[in-house]
Amino acid sequence: MKHSVFFSLLLLNISIYCQTGVFKCGEELIDSRDNRSYETVQIGSQCWMRQNLNIGELVRDMQQTKNQKIEKTCYQNDEKLCAIMGGLYTWDEAMQYKEGNQGICPEGWRIPSKEDWQTLVSHLGVEEAGQKLKVSEDGALCKWDGTNESGFSALPSGAANHAYFKRKDQWALFWTSTTENNERAWFAQLDSYWYPEPPKYKTLFIGNYYLKTNGFSVRCIKND
């Protein structure tokens, strides 16, 4: 009898394994919360989403509040742009108003820390990491001035500050999970400014001076 029960449980576990499989980076990720799919890419030792997160109930002008819901804002309040660029989130909304680094990412994924972004830069090379992260001029959804050598496929999705939207087609700003103080948090920034002249802006800048009330994009990284 004991052997019969053991083998029944073994067959059940095998059946579950075969149905669910084991996720491998590079495969499509399905977010079970809303059934949206995201492409993934292995860059060095890290597994990243290739698209900005786009989850939550739509609210206008960054009017996101602590209400047990995930809320997002689309650039210029245009829902069609969320489908391309992903949502914009305040830092508190992205972190879901609590400690830890999962935030609004799916189970098994997290909002990357400042150190996660620094690891990415180190792998790609400090001088040209930004260029390798941005989509190229022949990008399918959006054109930018990168090479996308990494496969990260960053889009110039812009940012928001309350009802003011800015720098679409010029900037990509991503929240990290690393807080600086009550008002500010660390972020990663890509842009297309030329400082002070060509060649194009090729680096990824990591800073801590923007307010948490700004609306930035979120990229998720897989837990180790």
Contact criterion met (CB below 8 Å) for 72 and 61 = no
Model confidence over 68-112: pLDDT tens digits?
999 999 999 999 999 999 999 999 999 999 999 999 999 999 999
Contact criterion met (CB below 8 Å) for 166 and 160 = yes
Q: Which of 142, 118, 143, 137 is nearest to 204 (CA)?
A: 118
* Angstrom distance (rounded) from CA 12 to CA 118: 43
Confidence of residue 14 (pLDDT cuts 50, 70, 90): very low
Read off the pLDDT of each residue in 61-69 and give the average, rounded to a whole number: 96
So what's the pLDDT on residue 88?
A: 98
Read off the pLDDT of each residue in 202-209 and give the average, rounded to a whole number: 94
DSSP element (H, E) containing 129: helix 129-133
* DSSP class per residue in 41-73: EEETTEEEESS----SEE-STT----SSS-EEB
Residue 65 has pLDDT above 90, yes or no: yes
- Three-state secondary-structure class, residue 191: strand
Q: Where are the domains of the chain?
A: 26-222
